[in-house]
Amino acid sequence: MKTHYLSALSAIAAIFTMPAASATEPIGWASVEAYGLKTTTGGGDAQPVTVTTLEELKRLLSDESPCVVVVSGKISTGPKALEIKSHKTLIGANKSATIHGGLSIKRASNIIVRNLNIQGAGVGNDPADAIAARESHHLWFDHLNVWDSRDGNLDLTVGSDCLTVSWCKFWYTDATNDHRLCCLVGGGSTHIETDRGKNRATYHHNWFAELVDQRMPRFIFGQSHAFNNYYACSGNSYCIGVGSFASVLIEQNYFKQVKDPHRFADGNHAFITARDNVYEATKGRQETGLGGTEGLMVEAFTQPPYPYTLDEAKHVPEIVMKNAGPQ
């Protein structure tokens, strides 16, 4: 296996000296102490290793020893998603570093995925999701460019918890794909045994762009937070969906020429708190308060248990378009 320690260290240093939009630690639920972890650190200060092949990547991600893996060039996973085990940082060497296919996280924790282009397999191909996590916690997805999954660009399900998604661009290129269901937090209302008290996610400074149709994200169960995101995907069905016992704080986002900026997603109780968002030429629903008529009662989520700083909503398009995606 080829190891390129100097180039790997240079890549890490470059990313950690990004503009103020970038951070060396997560903001949001991935920073909260739980499950025996104080925060999300990934591979920590392990010696970075640069890889250029799928075989190298598989080997380094296949066990739970702390590891920082730097992807150089383009690596295709084939029809089976590449699995990431616990205590890993997966990071791109530069703006062009790409994984084509999919990433999978199952029953794992303390994982960071940063500064990568992740191109899904496309219509009719496997894997279905560009990134999928199940039964996992303390995950941080940051400065990614994710597009063209067959199904979800980023699906976090089966009781995944303590999640942050920041500074990512999500989009699709194929308008004939009728399953442009971008981001999911929670698998469904019947998943009470795995999801109740979990599915806590923070989405901030993300760009939902061309041809995204819905689920930006769809939140089910859990207390979640969406702030300073930019929604610019005209022709969509809806943006943020909140259903089945979720309580979500939606603040200082910018919605431009989209339908249904935020709405209740089903008939079960859920709660939406929206404050200080900008709605430019939008149409449809901007639902708030207690929604639904069935099941568990849900209270408002208005005070996240972590520090964060808001940008003014009017500046969000400029800030996010400049800084989202690999740097």
Give the pairing type, strands 289-291 and 270-275.
antiparallel
Catalytic residue among 114, 150, 180, 215: 215
* DSSP type of residue 45: T
Integer Cα distance of 109 and 112 in angstroms: 9
- 106 Cβ contact partners less than 8 Å away, ≥ 6 residues apart: 83, 133, 134, 135, 136
> In the block, which residue shows the tokens 């568990």?
296
273, exposed or middle or buried, with CB in 10 Å at 0-12, 13-18, 19+? middle
135, exposed or middle or buried, with CB in 10 Å at 0-12, 13-18, 19+? middle
Q: Where are the alpha helices (DSSP H) in 167-307?
A: 192-195
Indicate left, alpha or beta for 219 from its phi (over 0: left) and psi (-120 to 50: alpha): beta
Closest CA to 206 of 24, 27, 17, 16: 27
Contact indicator for 292, 268 with CB cutoff of 8 Å:
yes
Q: Is 215 a catalytic residue?
A: yes
Put the strands of the sheet holding 218-220 in their side by side order: 82-83, 103-106, 131-134, 154-157, 183-185, 218-220, 240-243, 262-264
Q: What token pair was written down for 272? A: 């939406």
Looking at the annotation, which residues are catalytic?
Answer: 215
